[in-house]
């Protein structure tokens, strides 16, 4: 289905989010609600389900989770979505308007953290596939905090994401929206024992998709210290 031209709007033609309405969400979603006639339904959801903080039930839910999905966007609009995981409590609630988690270096690309330095808007999605079969959206503004500073302030407690590795930074998110993701299409899954994971060199999935054997447009590129091709 292709929407008629008047369904689509340029970002430059929309008011700044929050400037024209006390409702949650952005101008784009409000525009489409009017076009598609879902405004009344959306307002009920905003009224009944969307908070600007974490209530006690949400705090309890966050503390039980072992994974979350993280969405970020750079200044130019380029997007990245990724997964973060750890033992229950790796995502920590500092207060009802602030959550934080530790970051390891991973593959060294720093796609998510790089986006945060350009655009602090982030979206977190926590999904319990295993027990409650429900999800929680947390949207807000992120900042990167040095791990030593975070520990020195006593606001976080150390959590081991990988044996012998400590985070160099934490990401701290000021909560602006928190709301349910309904269970309707969430599959009910079960945890597999660690010994059933891929073994050997592919255990971490580094080249699971055989990318090394595939032509890459960046295969011959060298990068300077600031990430620019040279």
| Alpha-helical runs (H) found in the chain | 27-36, 39-49, 56-64, 111-118, 147-152
Quote the pLDDT of residue 21. 54
CA dihedral of residues 88, 91, 93, 98 (deg, nearest 10): -170
Level-2 CATH architecture, domain 56-181: Roll (2.30)
Quote the pLDDT of residue 146. 93
Quote the pLDDT of residue 104. 87
Per-residue pLDDT of the chain (230 residues; tens, 9 = 90+): 555 555 555 554 444 444 445 889 999 999 999 999 999 999 999 999 999 999 999 999 999 999 999 999 999 999 999 999 999 999 999 999 999 999 988 788 999 999 999 999 999 999 999 999 999 999 999 999 999 898 888 888 878 777 777 888 999 999 999 999 999 999 999 987 765 555 554 555 567 777 878 887 877 666 555 555 55
Model pTM score: 0.82
User: Taking the domains of the chain in order of start, what are their residue ranges?
Assistant: 56-181
Quote the pLDDT of residue 177. 98
Dist. CA 229–CA 48, nearest whole Å: 50
DSSP structure string for 23-74: SSS-HHHHHHHHHHT-HHHHHHHHHHH-BSS--HHHHHHHHH-SEEEEEEE-
10 Å CB burial of residue 195 (0-12, 13-18, 19+) is exposed
């Amino acid at each position: 289905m292709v929407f008629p031209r008047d369904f689509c709007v340029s970002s430059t033609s929309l008011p700044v989010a929050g400037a024209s309405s006390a409702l949650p969400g952005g101008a784009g979603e409000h525009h489409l609600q009017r076009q598609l006639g879902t405004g009344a339904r959306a307002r009920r959801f905003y009224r009944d389900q969307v908070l600007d903080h974490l209530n006690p039930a949400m705090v309890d839910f966050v503390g039980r989770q072992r994974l979350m999905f993280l969405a970020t966007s750079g200044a130019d609009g380029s997007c990245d979505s990724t997964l973060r995981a750890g033992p229950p409590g790796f995502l920590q609630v500092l207060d009802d308007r602030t959550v934080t988690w530790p970051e390891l270096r991973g593959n060294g690309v720093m796609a998510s953290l790089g986006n945060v330095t350009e655009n602090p808007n982030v979206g977190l999605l926590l999904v319990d596939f295993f027990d409650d079969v429900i999800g929680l959206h947390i949207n807000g503004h992120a900042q990167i905090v040095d791990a030593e500073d975070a520990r020195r302030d006593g606001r976080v407690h150390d959590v081991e994401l990988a044996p012998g590795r400590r985070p160099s930074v934490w990401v701290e998110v000021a909560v602006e929206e928190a709301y349910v993701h309904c269970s309707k299409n969430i599959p009910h899954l079960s945890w597999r024992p660690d010994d059933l994971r891929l073994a050997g060199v592919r255990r971490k999935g580094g080249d699971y998709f055989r990318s090394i054997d595939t032509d890459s447009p960046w295969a011959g590129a060298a990068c300077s210290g600031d990430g620019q091709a040279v």
